[in-house]
Amino acid sequence: MRLLVVEDDPDLNRQLVLALEDAGYVIDKAFDGEEGLFLGETEPYDAVVLDLGLPEIDGVTVLERWRRSGKVFPVLILTARDRWSEKVAGFDAGADDYLTKPFHTEELLARLRALVRRAAGHVTSTIEIGDLSVDTKGARAFINGSPLKLTSHEFRILSYLSHHVDRVISRSELTEHIYDQDFDRDSNTIEVFIGRLRKKIGTNRIATVRGLGYRLCDPASLDT
């Protein structure tokens, strides 16, 4: 999952990026509203952490412009403790949730997990696809309760596919959502990771749709 952090405080920005990367997310970052607006309009994100008190362009204006341009990714806004009016303005502009500074990192992570899974139509942090379980909170996966040994890139691909189970996902979409903007992206490596995943979770769980991409499914559902 690929997230954008827009926060002008360098220390807080760094702390957020490190915490989110440790949780398994791919992170792009911006330090002012102008840069954040541009990234949100040009890159695909699964969620955004947006401070409202930004230089150049304030966070509410950034959010309003994203929504007017049709961007539907979930947005978690950050506000100062005594600025309740900012929360109201943020929600009216299209925010999905908020946190008041200072906050606990675990709460931030929990709220982001909830936003991402709700956006994908899931209600719990564990996604079940037949006997395959993907624990998005613990960044783990199991088959029949037995843990799978996955690399970080393998889990990112499995997590993205599981959030969009039964939908065909192109190689380019996977590439955009498992690498940050500065990574030297090569969609051909997706085939390598898909091949490794198939060896670990079963060859019939990830179907190749010729010319379109890949689809994660429950093998048992194919027999009905």
At 206, which CATH number?
A: 1.10.10.10
Same domain, 59 and 157: no
CATH number (domain holding residue 46):
3.40.50.2300
Shared domain check, 187 and 172: yes
Residues 115 and 14 in one domain: yes
The pTM of the full predicted model, rounded to 2 decimals, is: 0.83
Residues 149 and 197 in one domain: yes
Q: What is the pLDDT of residues 114-132, one digit of tens each?
A: 999 998 888 888 999 999 9
Q: Tokens 């989110």 sit at which residue?
A: 20
Q: Are residues 45 and 76 in the same domain?
A: yes
Q: Which of 28, 48, 150 is nearest to 96 (CA)?
A: 48
Q: Which of 151, 131, 144 is nearest to 220 (CA)?
A: 131
Q: Which distant-in-sequence residues (6+ apart) come within 8 Å of 88 by Cβ?
A: none
- How many domains does the chain divide into? 2
Banded model confidence at residue 224, pLDDT cuts 50, 70, 90:
very low
Instruction: Return the percent helix, strand and coil in the chain, to nearest 5.
Output: 45, 20, 35
If asked whether residues 188 and 209 sit together in one domain, one would say yes
The last residue of one of the domains, among 89, 119, 149, is 119
Is the pLDDT assigned to residue 221 strictly greater than 90? no
Q: What is the pLDDT of residue 12?
A: 96
Of 59, 90, 119, the residue at which a domain comes to its end is 119
Residues 115 and 132 in one domain: no
Dist. CA 51–CA 130, nearest whole Å: 39
pLDDT per residue as tens digits for the range 70-92: 999 999 999 886 678 888 999 99
How far, CA to CA in Å, does 21 sit from each of 3, 26, 45, 93? 10, 6, 15, 28
Q: Which residue has the higher pLDDT, 180 or 90?
A: 90
What is the tens place of the pLDDT at every residue in 200-215? 999 899 999 988 999 9
User: Under DSSP, is residue 6 helix (H, G, I), strand (E, B) or coil?
Assistant: strand
Per the DSSP assignment, residues forming a β-bridge with 48 are 4, 75
* Final residue in a domain of this structure, among 104, 119, 134: 119
The reply to whether 6 and 48 lie within a common domain is yes
In the block, which residue shows the tokens 């969009």?
A: 164
pLDDT at residue number 184: 61
Domain identity same for 130 and 110: no
User: Are residue 102 and residue 190 in the same domain, yes or no?
Assistant: no
Asked if residue 72 and residue 176 are part of one domain, the reply reads no
Question: What's residue 121's pLDDT?
Answer: 86
Q: What percent of the chain has pLDDT over 90?
A: 74
pLDDT for residue 189 is more than 70 = yes
Q: Which domain holds residue 177?
A: 126-223
Q: Residue 222: pLDDT above 60?
A: no
Q: Same domain for 64 and 115? A: yes
Q: Decide if pLDDT at 32 tops 80.
A: yes
Report yes or no: 137 and 125 within 8 Å, Cβ to Cβ: yes
Burial 4-13 (b: 16+ CB within 10 A, else e): bbbbbeeeeb
